[in-house]
Structure 1
Amino acid sequence: MARTLALALAGATAFAVAPAVAGPEPGRAAADMAVTYRVTAPYQQHANGVRAGYKPDQYCVFDRVGGTGALGYPHFNHAYDNSTDPAKPTALFYEDDGKGGKRLVGVEWLVQDRDQNLKTDDDRPSMFGVPFKGPNRGNFPGQPVHYALHLWLWKKNPKGPFSTYNPAVTCLPGTTRPQPRPAS
């Protein structure tokens, strides 16, 4: 565990000085990034993430629109909905590790849009000097209009560390949510 944490902090330092972490307070962004690495390092062991309250989705999520990349298996801890605390991401993303287990690849923060209006964004949050994406429609019935920030800190994303989908993450055949059949 100590080795994992040391590698995480080294990675955070290297990652935090990258151009993706910009904005008016780059020192704070780097410090916040180090916090996220430190706090999520134990979740590299899938069971630790589940014990911490992150509920696994049974399906692997991929980019149905663009067709490039995936999120992996989202694990949500709704106690952290609306968090902009680098130590409290709303979701963890895991991928199949090829040995029957799961490997942590990224995290996400979700913040509800105050007025639930897709045409306004005066309450857009930001972290690490990066504005959240949105406002977005809910992804499932009952989910409110929200903003989202993805961070690929445990698996490099060729599209950038804050891109929604990661082309380096794939879903194994038979692991994705079945598509609804068109009505006849």
Structure 2
Amino acid sequence: MSARLRPLIAALALAAVASLTLGAAPAATAAPAPKPAGDDFPHPDLRLTYDATVRYRSEQAAIADGYQRTDECVEDPQLGGMGYHYVKPAHIGSTDPTRPAAILYEEDHKTGKRELVAVEWVVPNTGQSWPVLFGQPFDGPFDFEPVGPHYSLHAWIFKKNPSGVFSPYNPRVHCGPCPEGHAHP
């Protein structure tokens, strides 16, 4: 191959890769990505969490990245719901803002699809001092199988929570469909 053709071939290869990449990007007319639930995060590191987990709006992306799907939805009649927990065992014990142990989904009762609503950190209780993240002490300790004694911290960064960003339950999250004629708050 001549020395004159090498730069041309390299440029064409680069253009081909760029066109494949651009073909995978959303069209310019597509709706913008949804903003985080209340983009006014009470702690700047929550932006790191959002950026690290926004790809999990796709349930399949979460599963492909090692989050294990559960089919039990958590709800308290007085406090609201947490939703379905997807747990990544390798992240249990992490207090890294970008590595939550669980991500939480709520089912859209019209479509049956699950929508990302929150993230959660889980730290086993080994007698250590109370864990803190984002300047917020964890809730607990709790003792639920299969985790055992642990602390947890929720962050409602994908669905606004009137009870607060770090509240364990969200009154706007429900496990079952609403009774006929009623709407979820």
TM-score between the two structures when normalised by the length of structure 1: 0.73
Report if the CA contact (8 A) 1:4-1:41 is conserved: no
1:128 is matched with which residue: 131, 134, 139?
134
* Alpha-carbon distance in 1 for matches of 2:112, 2:148: 34
Match of 2:70 in 1: 57
Whole-angstrom CA distance in 1 between matches of 2:105 and 2:123 = 21
In structure 1, what is the equivalent of residue 112 of structure 2? 100
Q: Which moved more, 1:90-99 or 1:101-110?
A: 90-99
Count of aligned pairs: 147
**Runs of 4 or more consecutive aligned structure 1 residues displaced over 3 Å after TM superposition:** none
- Residue of structure 2 in register with 1:70 after alignment: 81
**Aligned alpha-carbon RMSD (Å):** 2.0
Whole-Å separation in 2 of the counterparts to 1:143 and 1:111 = 9
2:90 pairs with 1:84: no
CA distance in 2, matches of 1:33, 1:55: 23
- Find the counterpart in structure 2 of residue 160 from structure 1: 164
| Structure 2 residue runs without a partner (length 5+) | 1-24, 27-31, 178-185
**Higher Cα Rg, which structure:** 2
Q: Structure 2: how far apart are the matches of 1:165 and 1:109?
A: 14
- Residue type of the alignment partner of 2:140: G
User: Quick one: distance in 2 between partners of 1:34 and 1:136?
Assistant: 27
Distance in 1 (alpha carbons) for counterparts of 2:40 and 2:62: 23
Matched, 1:169 2:173: yes
Q: Which amino acid is the alignment partner of residue 40 of structure 2? A: F
Could you tell me which amino acid in structure 2 is paired with residue 128 of structure 1? F
CA distance in structure 1 between the partners assigned to 2:126 and 2:33 by the alignment: 38
Aligned to 1:45: 58
Check the 8 A contact 1:71/1:93 in 2, yes or no. yes
TM-score by length of 2: 0.73
8 A contact 1:108–1:148 mirrored in 2:
yes
Paired-residue identity, % = 37
Distance in 2 (alpha carbons) for counterparts of 1:60 and 1:79: 22
Q: Does the aligned pair in 1 maintain the 2:105–2:117 contact within 8 Å?
A: yes
